[in-house]
Structure 1
């Protein structure tokens, strides 16, 4: 198994910038595990009328995102290449699935996307410019990675490479903070999003109140018209379902 080497990645990226296609091929090969791990998350969820998309197709589409990331990455962004590449790979896969009618956007993601769009319009009206992802994250009270995920899922932006703000060199990918640098963190977060979106509406509400708003079981029960005992039981069912899904 090939060991991930940041310094070798940096060397290859520098050569890619100079138009070295051999370096690009090697970079893609060394980072193919990232593409595969992301494609795997979509494989069993990409269903439409009983029709599933081939895993190999998802890997090929995701590789396009990896190539785009390699050609557009700039180390001055201060973000690890793997962190930078994740939203581009996801974006290519999601666009492919969405365009073919193979991917449905969940209710929760749509709701987050609508909130982002509203706050974006308010920000533009007040400041006369596009907000940066970090500013949207602060306004919505969400992590930057979640903002990008929702925007890409509901098509709030045309592309993750779309320029934002006043700086022509600043794109959505470049504003993503490096969250621990672990690829597994990013892919697990995506899988968790998708698993939650497939839960019954009541369970999604419980998750929102308990884990996003951090309310107690008693407070959650009052809002939903249920007893604390009922919330506790449902919570155990939810966690068991999510564990099996992940």
Structure 2
């Protein structure tokens, strides 16, 4: 987002008395008052978002998250506070953005993983042209000189931003696609579990992190993971139990 757009945001200044009157009305359920407050504080959100530029996050996303912080500030402001609303709101906006960044950064895709995924996609396109068909994961892996599971993990790790039609797994030599495998949104009931897993994963060994990426982020079944890793389903079950016990020490 180009933050020159801030020039076109509402520039009307409300007095402290007007703000508190609107907050009181908003907290009593007046949607018009709430919208006026939000509209007249978008510049405040934009100014906070500018602090977090150049961190690899989309500014539009941060602006939306900051706006949520603003709304929480409107709902939570105690009218008996002897402080300006902006003084109370800024930490709320900052806190909401930092929480989003913290939770999103726990499993940020490493540069090497991104590079591998990009190479895999390029090779897949090249082999599709050369072979006249979509190559299997194994063929892509052999071409790059890496393990098949590394290709699967790399492509799954970047799946929110690459094509739904990229290969992510094979079954009996036939390529499967990423289509319909997109992870649940934040509104999903399992979100809290996912966040916890993300926070704990960085404490685990790389191989265990790969395992959890397959099970909980690529949403592979134990049978699928067993095929990818070349082990039995019983071994997958034992590994999963061991990792869960390990993670309990950190939670």
> Same fold by TM-score, threshold 0.5 exceeded?
no
**Larger relative contact order (CA 8 Å, sep ≥ 6):** 1
What range describes the TM-score normalised by the shorter chain of this pair? 0.3 to 0.5
Q: Which of the two has greater helix per residue?
A: 1
When Rg is computed on C-alpha atoms for both structures, the one with the higher figure is 2
